[in-house]
Structure 1
Amino acid sequence: MTSAARSLTEPRVLAHTKRRLFPADADGGYVVVDTQFSSDRWLANETIDPGVKEALAPFNHVRIGSGYPDLVGVRVLGDDLLAVDRLGDEPPLVAVEAKGYTDGGGVDIERGIVQAYDRLNEANAVYVAAPAGAISNGARTLACELNVGVLGVDSGGAVEPVEVPRIVGNRTTTETNAIRFQASAQGVANKSFSLNHPKNYLAYPLAVFHSDDTERVLSERVVGAVAGARTGAAFLNLIDEQPDRVRLTPLGREVVRFGRREYGSADAALQVFDEWKQSRKRFADLAPKWGMLTRRVVYAYPATQLLVEELQHMHEDGIAEPTLPLLVEYLHELHPSLTVELFVRGDEEVRSRVLDVDGKLLRDELMDGDVYHSPTVFQLKAMLYHAGILTSRGAEPSNLDPGADVWKLREAIL
């Protein structure tokens, strides 16, 4: 066995596999690697190369089945990686167990197959990835019987399917939903709410419906940052961005109906938006009817429902004015994977600071505003404030004092 082949330790096998299944230039999808790979050392005498750690990021500790797969993600896979056509319209949730050469020179691929099989109750497709030279016929037979895909990795980084799995249906859990959420159009991973006032997003369906050019009427009446308004409107499920056009969703059409009912036409409704430029007053107080509509739209955003329900529970537990670190700690106990995806920036340095190798929160790091995800602590919080849900607006991470940042319901139920 060459030294190049022996260099295929588990982190390197996983990094090559991630590049194959979730290439950086692919459209859509989202993937995380388990926090154990954020460690600086893997084998007794070998550190994890910084380039490998960078390739593996972001890290999260996602429970699927009875354990934590090395990699979990959501993406449409190529036909060469699956035995049959995809199940339904949604991209599959994929789990991977990686095995590489250990200090003793062996590769425990059979154990990886059994671990991968355990994930099938909650994943649509599972794989074990291992050095190609270590994959025996017996391992292939076992994997085939258990519907586990096998990926062979060579020392040059090429990854080829040896056995391909069938897509299966599954049940979803809070943990798997965290990854599905990030892979959806409403996830906060690779995009963001770039504007912090909901009027900029509510106006977009009206501008789409308007007879004039969407971008021109929006920039003249509402906000110059048209691309940001469009992205936020998609996040809030007001529009569906197609390759050749923008389509109003049912929720977006309801915004148009409301505007026409209140003002007679989309044009007249947008004229009112022009009058609100530069206003810092809470939107629910400035325009109560629009505020109620904002509340409905923002509450339809999946993250809002989770936040409001758990803030209510905190209120019932006697925590009337939770700070941001306290909220994150509380949520992490109940919804660990989703909390990390929602609040913590995804780059390798930040996730490694906030989570230890077992996925536990390092609480002292939560006092640094720079670790937080801006679309949640700034833009989403500001919209919840304008909708009349929270008592205070958000702040940019660079200006954020987490210990003084209060997340309090304006109308908690006593």
Structure 2
Amino acid sequence: MASAARSLTEPQVLAHTKRRLFPEDADDGYAVVDTQFASNRWLADGAIDSSVTELLAPFNHVRVGSGYPDLVGVRVLDPDLLAVDRLGEEPPLVAVEAKGYDDRGGVDVERGVVQAYDRLDEANAVYVAAPVASIGGSVRTLARELNVGVLAVDADGSVDAVEVPRVVGNRTTSETTAIRFQASAQGVADKSFGLNHPKNYLAYPLALYHPDETGRVLSEHVVRAVDAARTGAAFLNLVEERPDGVRLTPLGREVVRFALAEYGSVESALADFDEWKRSRRRFSDIAPKWGLLTRRVVYAYPATQLLVEELQRLHEDGVPEPTLPQVVEYLHELHPSFTVELFVRGDDDVRGRVLDADGELQRAELTDGNVYHAPTVFQLKAMLYHAGILTTRGTEPSNLDPTADTWALREQVTPTEPR
């Protein structure tokens, strides 16, 4: 028992479980582990191995149902983990409560079942994960009655589903939306816009529609970084990357329609892009019509809507030119999980510095530019600048002084009285 207690503490159980549900080599899904596990110690006399912490990262404090699960993520799970393998068109949002051996050698699995059940209001599937020897018949019966999956974890790292849950519908909150956002093609986790000018992404649907080879057309007229342009276009929902190839989305087709209406052909439209190479002027100033289209495309990106609305509220509260730390502090009060996912780098060291064990923001850390996520503070901000939405462009985190980096709307809307 002593050996099992040492090897299957709660962080160990959770690490094995995350590896099973969200394998590192999977090309889909996203999961976060609660901030309490960012600590370097767990039991009174035991340290958490750094390899476990690295596996558990990224950390966030996400409220689901009545509390904060140990793990929350979105992914199409293996068929043997669910009673049904999908819910509608979206992968399920999954919540996990982990239980391991405590200092006295006990495992409170029943409490884990009840905690997992309390997450079902906002999760599609919930599990309790625990050492295999601690899972008895009464635990399985309780879990079956409450529609809670049970994952039996062995000391060798294997994880078996001894009870599988049914996938259920749920209600969506801003907290669970943050995780769904990161798991989508438009999320910023482990990805980067790569390029900081929106013309490179707007041009991709035109090059895709062009009868010649997409990469050659894009390289000739716009940018040689074809893969980065394609990734950014997918982020902005202009194209969809499928197993059988890249396809235009409805928004991407609208970009093509705009080009055809203005120029008669995408070839003629792309010729204009040659003129804009290496220009540092605001895109909405040098190409007003394209700037308006850019504004529409960028505003359709979910993160833009949240940022613009909250910057407007900051203006109404008397802060027309907030600095980056002020923006993050303000947003974290209203949308904590979304703010962390959007602005804070996902590695264990950074999340452990910026958030304490209870998920509270450590404000002093926000003055360090290196804690910020480059696709947001550099590329996304630069695109909002070129679209005419923000007053200043983005900056690489390595060169960023957060206290001097302002996030102000170019046009503020004065509140009007109801009529």
TM-score bin (small chain):
over 0.9
1:46 corresponds in structure 2 to 46
The two structures have a TM-score, normalised by structure 1, of 0.99
| One-letter code aligned to 1:381 | K
| One-letter code aligned to 1:154 | D
1:191 and 2:191 correspond? yes
2:337 corresponds in structure 1 to 337
- 1:325: how far off? 0.4
Deviations 1:364-389 (A, max 9, x none): 10000000000000000000000000
Deviations 1:193-222 (A, max 9, x none): 000000000000000111111100100000
- 1:29-40 alignment to 2 at 5 Å? 29-40=29-40
| One-letter code aligned to 1:412 | Q
The answer (yes or no) to whether the contact 2:36–2:358 under 8 Å persists in 1 is yes
Change (3 A) 1:22 1:85: closer
CA–CA distance in structure 2, aligned partners of residues 5 and 103 of structure 1:
8
Tell me which moved more, 238-247 or 196-205. 238-247
Could you say what secondary structure the match of 2:120 adopts? helix
Unaligned runs of 5+ in 2: 415-419
The answer (yes or no) to whether the contact 1:16–1:153 under 8 Å persists in 2 is yes
Could you say what secondary structure the match of 1:120 adopts? coil
2:417 corresponds in structure 1 to none
CA–CA distance in structure 2, aligned partners of residues 265 and 271 of structure 1:
10
1:169 corresponds in structure 2 to 169
2:126 corresponds in structure 1 to 126
1:328 corresponds in structure 2 to 328
- 1:2: how far off? 5.4
CA–CA distance in structure 2, aligned partners of residues 412 and 28 of structure 1:
39
Could you say what secondary structure the match of 1:121 adopts? coil
User: What CA RMSD, in Å, does the superposition of the two structures yield over aligned residues?
Assistant: 0.8
CA–CA distance in structure 2, aligned partners of residues 178 and 222 of structure 1:
33
1:295 corresponds in structure 2 to 295
The answer (yes or no) to whether the contact 1:6–1:105 under 8 Å persists in 2 is no
Deviations 1:161-193 (A, max 9, x none): 111000001011000000000000000002110
- 1:10-409 alignment to 2 at 5 Å? 10-409=10-409
CA–CA distance in structure 2, aligned partners of residues 26 and 203 of structure 1:
30
Unaligned runs of 5+ in 1: none
1:4 and 2:4 correspond? yes
CA–CA distance in structure 1, aligned partners of residues 146 and 4 of structure 2:
31
CA–CA distance in structure 2, aligned partners of residues 40 and 129 of structure 1:
21
- 1:83: how far off? 1.2
The answer (yes or no) to whether the contact 2:284–2:292 under 8 Å persists in 1 is yes
CA–CA distance in structure 2, aligned partners of residues 288 and 125 of structure 1:
48
CA–CA distance in structure 2, aligned partners of residues 137 and 90 of structure 1:
33
The answer (yes or no) to whether the contact 1:83–1:166 under 8 Å persists in 2 is yes
| One-letter code aligned to 1:392 | T
CA–CA distance in structure 2, aligned partners of residues 211 and 66 of structure 1:
54
- 1:81: how far off? 0.4
| One-letter code aligned to 1:17 | T
The answer (yes or no) to whether the contact 2:368–2:401 under 8 Å persists in 1 is yes
Could you say what secondary structure the match of 1:151 adopts? strand
The answer (yes or no) to whether the contact 2:95–2:119 under 8 Å persists in 1 is yes
Aligned residues: 414
Could you say what secondary structure the match of 2:119 adopts? helix
- 1:7: how far off? 2.3
Identical aligned residues as a percent: 78
| One-letter code aligned to 1:360 | E
CA–CA distance in structure 2, aligned partners of residues 86 and 279 of structure 1:
47
The two structures have a TM-score, normalised by structure 2, of 0.98
The answer (yes or no) to whether the contact 1:377–1:396 under 8 Å persists in 2 is yes
- 1:4: how far off? 3.5
Deviations 1:391-410 (A, max 9, x none): 00000000100000000000
